[in-house]
Chains A and B, each alone.
Chain A
Amino acid sequence: MAAPTHGQLTPPILDQLRALVGPENVVASPDELLVYECDAYTLERGLPNVVVLPRTTGEVAAIVKLCATENLPIIPRGAGTSLSGAVLAVTGGVMIALTRMNGIVQIDYQSRRALVEAGCVNAWVTNAVKSRGLLFAPDPSSQPACTIGGNVGTNSGGPHTLKYGVTTNHILGFELVLPDGEVVWLGTTPDGGEEVDGYDLRGAVIGSEGMFGLVTRVLLRLIRAPQAYKTMLGVFETVDDASQAVSDIISAGILPAALEMMDQLITQAVEAAYHFGFPLDAGAVLIVELDGLAAGLDRQAEQVIAICKRNRAREVRLAQSEQERADLWKCRKRAFGAIGRLSPNFMTQDGVVPRSKLPEMMRFIRHCSEKYNLRIPNVFHAGDGNLHPLILYDEREPDQIRRALKASDEILNQCLALGGSVTGEHGIGVEKIDFMEKQFSRDDLEAMRALRRVFDPEGRCNPHKMFPGSKRCSDFAPRKQIAA
């Protein structure tokens, strides 16, 4: 597919945008645009020509139609917490940020559904319904900031996906503004039944990284909050032992709500930042959360404790109160934030391996850390086999950037070699484009491109993402260095 050529934003078009949404909802000054130059993947940056902040679906459709007429690229954006450059304006264009469409439109307690605008923050949903014993299951670590529209775009996960699944398992339907400005509803409608005729277009759009159009309103499935929790902290001498315990818990037929691991380096950083009381000398800690009916949990908790002990756990602590449980999760979810204590910069990877390959993969990461002389702490969704090695580097030293990228590449290649994937929840974006040809065949990729053309024949919506051959940011030297 030839790289599409797009039009340029001109002053008259800018005036038209201001007329559509009001000048207060258009950002065009270079200073203010800087906020929008990247997401949480900061290694590559690119400025949009303008950011538009619509307040209604009608406004979104009008902006998109104008962009279609003027042949301008569109970049959808939520809170910008994504980790792969999925919202990067690689060659400029009109960024449409949904953050001002952030309302909870309607909650239907009887049907256990919530209709929200795309810019609604993930955590707001559960906050709004928890007094009625309900919750929205996907809980990415960025949930106090990330938007539901962004969750749909990247098919976000979180620590509780092991039992509850990811975003796609909890989205009933949504309104989508296609790249030509047409508005369609895909999946279950707010007053419709859950069975929907025809292709599962809802499912095909979720995780398409904003390349099929802009999601404007979303119908969420709410679930009942569990009656009881047993949240345990297993303290292990080595990552190997903790990894083996993970495998053994799954093999025993226990399905915890979450199974999360932190290695020594990250545990120390988290402890220094949040003072939970983590042991500083343990090789790894494992958070095991069981939930469900109180009646079944005691016996399962005993089983988990026995499995941990069998794998030489030094101790297994049981959270004694809801407060202690909440504190433990706060530490886990803010772990990335504690990294600032260790290093000025870090690169997060998101590879996945079959759970049984976890011990082997963790050894490989340690090997990479030694080989490239970089510290690589790990905090990750062990129960899903979804790793988050955090490769620490200092961007002021070009050689460290180069080594960090090499280590990152080797780790992802190894995930593929072990039968896994290069991304479990962060997405391809611009960051992992080079891996698409390794993970998929030419025909597989062509089948994906065919779907892209169905939704966006001109390739104008979030261009230069996902597919090999896409343009990279022109000043992105490190990748070239590696290739050289």
Chain B
Amino acid sequence: MKMLAPANLDELLQSLAGNHARNEKFPPFTLTALNRVVEHAPEDMTVVVEAGISLEALQKKLAIGGQWLPIDPPRPEATSIGDLLNANASGPRRFGYGTVRDYLIGIKVALADGRVIKAGGKVVKNVAGYDLCKLFVGGQGSLGIIVEATFKLRPLPEAEQFVAGHCESFDQAAGLMEAVLASELTPVVVDWHRPLPTATRQACVVVLGFAGTRAEVDWQLAKAAAMGITEPASLDYETIFWAAESRPHRVSVPPPRLAQAIEKLGAVEWVARAGNGVAYYRGGTPPPKGQVPVELTRRIKDAYDPKHLLPELTW
């Protein structure tokens, strides 16, 4: 099937409109032409942006005003704002900043029948009408095509640094994490990753990230060092994990149960958002299927895409 590349919103709407048969799937498309930053108002800490721009390109523009969208999924250069929202993608810093649904304040969507709807707005607090924005975050493009999004932003931190501690067992890692979370530290990253194969006596590397003013970061580094977490680190393990082409499995449990869940995976490649209780892994057995309210899900799909022209939601 040919890849559609509409030059603008009207072209996209024209290809959607018209008389389509049920299940006549809309062809694969790319929105690379819709790549404008429509409005960045640093004094309002908000941005309106078209969905085709890459996250990396957006961050570069926001940085000029000293701000950023604090979402850090893998491969930001290859992730468009549309991709980010459709997949509800996230990265290590989600422990400190949350996920993209916490920052999305407005959305413009092309529906399957070629109509355009907007939800939310461009102010940071807004409860007029239902919060339709949420339906499209993680909706996998199954309810409509996101063409524009409005986000609230954060100031870029003055400093950011990572430190690691090595643990010989998952019990030790879990204990260390609990101690960190019960302390006065306010890490933005609480990750675990698999040690290098040469580090035979280790089970797990605990990585903490601190961000904020220089003084805040320095104070936290000293405090972490006192807890035995001293080794300067980076997020390279994350980049390496996601460089592989195949999509990993994901397991999500309450954080105190993560150690057990990872141990059960056996000898696989893995990386974990330990503070959130989320682990990604390649190989091994897929996690059990999630419980989804099937009837409500079906009705939502039928309400927004009655002819099922867009992809079906999978889980």
A interface residues (Cβ-Cβ under 8 A, vs B): 108, 110-113, 154-155, 157, 161-162, 165-166, 168-169, 184, 186, 189, 191-204, 206-208, 224, 227, 247, 250-251, 253-255, 292-293, 295-296, 299-300, 352-356, 381, 384-386, 419-428, 432, 435-436, 439-441, 443-448, 450-455, 466
Contact = CB atoms under 8 A, between A and B. Distances in A.
A448 B123 contact: no
Given A207-B130, A292-B186, A293-B212, A200 B42 contact: no
B184 interface: yes
A183 to B, nearest CB: 11
Contact of B303 (A157, A191, A451): A451
Nearest to B90: A195
A293 B134 contact: no
B98 interface: yes
B128 A421 contact: yes
A353 B123 contact: yes
Interface string B277-315: 110000000000111110011011001100000000101
B215 to A, nearest CB: 5
B238 interface: no
Contact of A203 (B44, B115, B134, B220): B134
Contacts of B251: 193
A203 B101 contact: yes
A216 to B, nearest CB: 15
B127 A423 contact: yes
A300 B134 contact: no
B138 interface: yes
A198 B297 contact: yes
B253 interface: yes
Contact of B118 (A112, A432, A441): A441
A224 B117 CA distance: 38
Which of B102, B123, B128, B215 has the most chain A CB atoms closer than 10 A to its own CB? B128
B137 interface: yes
Contacts of A426: 127
**Tier of interface size on chain B:** 35 or more
A419 B117 CA distance: 17
A455 B296 contact: yes
A155 B130 CA distance: 10
Interface in B165-188: 178, 181, 184, 186
Contact of B127 (A224, A292, A425): A425
Interface in B44-96: 44-46, 66-67, 88
Contacts of A466: 129-130
Contacts of B129: 428, 436, 439-440, 444-445, 448, 466
Contact of B216 (A193, A292, A451): A292
A68 to B, nearest CB: 15
Contact of A194 (B155, B277, B290): B277
A248 to B, nearest CB: 8
A197 B123 CA distance: 29
Given A203-B133, A293-B184, 10 more contacts: A199-B143, A200-B137, A201-B296, A250-B44, A293-B220, A385-B124, A435-B128, A441-B117, A445-B129, A448-B130
A108 B255 CA distance: 11
B125 A166 contact: yes
A5 to B, nearest CB: 23
B116 A443 contact: yes
A227 B101 CA distance: 27
B131 A204 contact: yes
A277 to B, nearest CB: 30
Which of B139, B156, B303 has the most chain A CB atoms closer than 10 A to its own CB? B303
B131 A168 contact: yes
Given A194-B277, A195-B252, A451-B303, A352 B212 contact: no
Contacts of B111: 443, 447
A3 B156 CA distance: 50
Contacts of A445: 129
B296 A352 contact: no
B254 A108 contact: yes
B225 interface: no
Contacts of B300: 199, 201, 451, 454
Interface in B22-58: 41-46
